[in-house]
């Protein structure tokens, strides 16, 4: 399948997508959570009693934004996929963070991918840090 693959003939974004697709294929779906927008956003998924916490941290490079802007370079409309633990149903999904007033409810759609439910959502803006909270019934 990859016998004739030459990584120097594709750009960084395409290589990143190929790697992401390979990981998804090897796991039979997503492995926890996935941000499709960029590799500049670091994620950490933590499971607690009755909920998942998805931490998102924006590591956009300094040359990509105005150094005088204390918020850096935000990402807008970031698509995120989160595997829903089997046997659970999402009761509530919201966003919190230092640049967000209170809790911001997020719209989401759960789709069956293979034998796994995956929540698809869009985070409207990530300045530096935010936290997605997914509570279960």
pLDDT, tens digit (0-9, with 9 covering 90-100), for 47-91 = 888 999 999 988 776 566 665 665 567 888 999 999 998 889 999
Helix (H, G, I), strand (E, B) or coil at 27: helix
pLDDT value, residue 14: 64
For residue 111, being part of any structural domain is answered with yes
What is the CA angle 43-48-52, rounded to 5? 45
CA distance 130 to 123: 9
Q: Tell me the pTM.
A: 0.71
For residue 7, being part of any structural domain is answered with no
Between 101 and 70, name the one with better pLDDT.
101
For residue 14, being part of any structural domain is answered with no
Half-sphere exposure of 37 (CA within 13 A, CB side): 23
For residue 11, being part of any structural domain is answered with no
For residue 20, being part of any structural domain is answered with no
> What are the Cα distances from residue 78, in Å, to 37, 40, 42, 130?
6, 12, 12, 12
């Amino acid at each position: 399948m990859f016998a004739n693959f030459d990584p120097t003939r594709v750009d960084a974004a395409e290589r990143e997508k190929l790697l992401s697709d390979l990981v998804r294929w090897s796991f039979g779906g997503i492995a926890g959570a996935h941000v499709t927008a960029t590799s500049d956003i670091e994620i950490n998924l933590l499971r607690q009693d009755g909920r998942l916490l998805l931490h998102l941290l924006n590591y956009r490079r300094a040359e990509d934004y105005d150094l005088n802007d204390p918020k850096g370079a935000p990402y807008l409309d970031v698509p995120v996929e989160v595997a829903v633990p089997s046997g659970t149903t999402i009761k509530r999904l919201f966003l919190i963070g230092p640049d967000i007033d209170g809790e911001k409810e997020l719209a989401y759609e759960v789709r069956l991918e293979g034998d796994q439910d995956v929540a698809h959502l869009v985070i409207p803006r990530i300045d530096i840090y935010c936290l997605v909270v997914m509570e279960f019934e």
